[in-house]
Every structure is written in C-alpha cells, then in structure tokens.
Amino acid sequence: MERGGRAALALGLLLLLLLLGAMLALREPAPARDEARGSGGVQKTFRALLAAGREQQQQQEEEEREKDPPAAPVRRGIFWSRELEARVPPGFAAEEAAAWRAAARGARVASLERGGCGRSSNRLARLSDGSRACVRYGVSPEQIQGEALSYHLAGLLGMQQRLPPMALALVEARGRQWEPVREELRGSHWAEGAVVSLTRWVDNLTAVVAPAPWGGGRPRTLAAGELSGLPAEQLVELVQWSDLILFDYLTANFDRLASNLFSLQWDPRVMRRATSNLLRAPDGGLVFMDNEAGLVHGYRLLATWDPYNEPLLRSVCVFREGTARRLAELHRRRNAAAELRRRYRAREPLWEHLGFLSERQAELLQARVDFVHRHIAQCRAQAAAL
Ligand SMILES: *[C@@H]1O[C@H](CO)[C@@H](O)[C@H](O)[C@H]1NC(C)=O
C-alpha cells in the first residue's frame, strides 16, 4: 500500500521531470546535463581534457596495433580471451580494499568539506589515517542500503575491483570517530544515529564516453563477430563494460547508462557525453561510482527503467568467463540473496542498522540472476549456430 503510493509518487515525479526536460529542451537544444546534476565545472574540464587527449590516444592506439596485433579477442564464442582479461587494469585489489575499509572504520574524521562528492548533503572527509573518503548521506536510507548492497553484490560477482572500497559509518556527534568535526556535523543537518557510507576517494579520475556499441543511441550488439580489427586498448575497455552492463541490469541501476539513454529524448547527442557515475582511473581501469540507485531504489522503479536496462543487457553477448560462471552457480543453487546476505553480514559490521533486502527484493534479485544466465545461454546458442 505504502509502497504503491511511493511508486506512484516516484512515477509522478518522473513525468514532471520529463515535462520539465521537454520544456528545457525547447529553450535550449542541448542542455548540459552534467550541470543539472550539480557538478558542472569539474565535468566540463573533464570534457575538455577528453577532447584534447583523444587525438593523442588515437595515435597511440595506431602505434600499438602495428607492433602488437591482438590475437582472437573472443574464445568459445562468448568469452573474452584470457590475454585480454589479463590486460584489464587490476583496479582495487581485494586485500587492499579490505585494509582500507578496516582503516576507515577505525579512523577519526579529521575534516569535512563540501563539494566533490555529488549531492549537497554529501561531504568529502579527510580521515586521521591520511586517506580521504566521500561521505554519502542518503535523502532516504534506501540509498545507503543500495550503495552497500551493490558493493557487496559486486564482490559476489567477482567485479568488486571496479568499485571504490566502501564502509558504513554511524553518525554520532559524541562518538570518537566524529569528535574532531563536531562543529561541521552541526551544520550538516545529518540526523544523529543515521548510517552514512564512506567511499574511498580516488585521485585524477576522468570522464568516460560510452564506446561504439552504445555510443550511437540505440545499442548495437557487442558480439564476437563485431570485434575484429578493434585495437587491444578498446577491447580491454569493452571487457569492463560487459561487466558493468550485467551489474547494472542485476541491480536495476538506472543512474548510469540507462539515464543517459533516457535523456536521448531531448538530447540527441547525450551518448557522446560523459556517462553518469562512471569514471576512468589514470591506469585506464573503469571505476563504477555511486551505486545508490541499485537494488532497493532501482527495484521499486523496474517498470520505468527496464525498458532501458533490458536492451542494454541484450546488447552484450561477450562476457568475462568468471562472471558467467558465478552467475551460473547462483542460478543453479538459487541462492543469490542468501549468498549476498552472508557476504554482507560477514564484511559490514553495521549491516543490522540498515537491514537487508525484503523477501520480494530477494526474489527479484534471483529472477534477474536467472534472466542474465538465460541471456548468456542464448548468446552461447547463437554463437554455436554460426
Ligand atoms: C594526480 O595528478 C597530479 C597532477 O598531474 C599528480 O601530481 C599526482 O601524482 C596524481 N595522483 C595520482 C594518485 O595519480
């Protein structure tokens, strides 16, 4: 009942936004959507950097192709070659991430600054161990729950190295952790006792424009036959995109590629702009940022966003073998939610403060795992028939 009301409200809001968007589009043919999201200046600089870097990158790619022609990028019809997988930048290694999470939990928050971390309710924290973290305060607790559960689902799927390490924290003005920033807390309007997420800050990230299969509006299929002649560097990026699209389908995250596709209605060039909540580390590895829309919020808005997320999933027919294997296992054992709960409870001491997925959400997660598994099987059958 309440959920239905909230869904209707969300849908109403969405329609209102659509209308607003349409009105904006009439006044201004191509609204800079990054500015609407409140991080305009930084992103604009990213774009300029990107344009400047592109020529240089193309030149490098050509040189690389000449001296190092890639072997067959796909094996057994649907899996990225081992050679390509080995070239994917390692990202956040599991041990290093666990060490950061433990350090962040034990550290004091030495300072809190505005800006740099998305929503105006978020803060950039400097921790007493010298590291920095984005502190996200949810407008609703389900955003923090979505962030935390998405992070641990990525662990279950073997793709957590693409997400910045994350730990939960309890806002307690009188607690040891927050004692140095008691004054700033007073100005933050954060509720005492609220759970916030700490995400490790990463330096020198740059914007990411969706590559060819998705860059032209309607997604084309990323399949073995489409890849010949692509330079290794692009293939290495596509390996990461294949995981990203599966991850966003499973979590029903609409705040990345799906939201860009959605904006196509009034901004025909949106797919040539930076993808929301996706950045590139200096080593070329993709960083899946800000997963708050995943699992909880996303599952409430499936009807709105599956028309975008489903074609995206269908556009991928090449996979990391490890990802496919994990999904097959979760499908066979029908235990996706149980495994996620086990992992979350073992690794997040504050799990109880936010709770876990409802029974309905747990069923949806399993249904989506099954759906992706069937999709992979279809791709396998298609590849075998060629
Ligand atoms: C980030 O970029 C600055 C300026 O180019 C550089 O000095 C710094 O070492 C970089 N940091 C990392 C972590 O790569």
Q: Ligand 1: which residue has its CA nearest to atom 12?
A: 203
pLDDT for the residue numbered 371? 98
49 lines ligand 1 (CB under 6 A): no
Q: Are 278 and 369 within one domain? A: yes
Q: Are 158 and 235 within one domain? A: no
Q: Are 73 and 190 within one domain? A: no
204 lines ligand 1 (CB under 6 A): yes
Q: E-strand spans in the chain?
A: 74-75, 79-80, 109-113, 123-127, 132-136, 166-170, 195-200, 206-209, 274-280, 286-288
pLDDT for the residue numbered 61? 59
Q: Are 212 and 359 within one domain? A: yes
Q: Ligand 1: which residue has its CA nearest to atom 10?
A: 204
pLDDT, tens only, 308-333: 999 999 999 999 999 999 999 999 99
pLDDT, average across residues 372-385: 96
Give the number of the atom of ligand 1 that is nearest the alpha carbon of residue 282: 14
Q: Are 100 and 80 within one domain? A: no
Amino acid at residue number 232: A
Probe target for ligand 1 pocket from 200, 204, 205, with the most ligand atoms within 8 Å of CB: 204
Give the number of the atom of ligand 1 that is nearest the alpha carbon of residue 203: 13
pLDDT for the residue numbered 270? 83
Compute the distance between CA of residue 19 and CA of residue 45 in angstroms, rounded to an integer.
29
- 311: which 2 tokens? 């074609």
**In total, how many domains does the chain have?**
2
> Do 136 and 144 meet the contact criterion of CB atoms below 8 Å apart?
yes
Q: Ligand 1: which residue has its CA nearest to atom 6?
A: 204
pLDDT, tens only, 128-175: 999 999 999 998 889 999 999 999 999 999 999 999 999 999 999 999
% of the chain exceeding 90 in pLDDT: 67
Compute the distance between CA of residue 240 and CA of residue 247 in angstroms, rounded to an integer.
11
What separation in Å is there between the alpha carbon of 119 and the centre of ligand 1?
Answer: 25
Residue from 22, 11, 19 nearest 304 by CA: 11
> Do 212 and 308 meet the contact criterion of CB atoms below 8 Å apart?
no
Give the number of the atom of ligand 1 that is nearest the alpha carbon of residue 204: 1
Q: Are 246 and 363 within one domain? A: yes
52 lies in which domain range?
45-89+205-385
Assigned domain for 10 exists: no
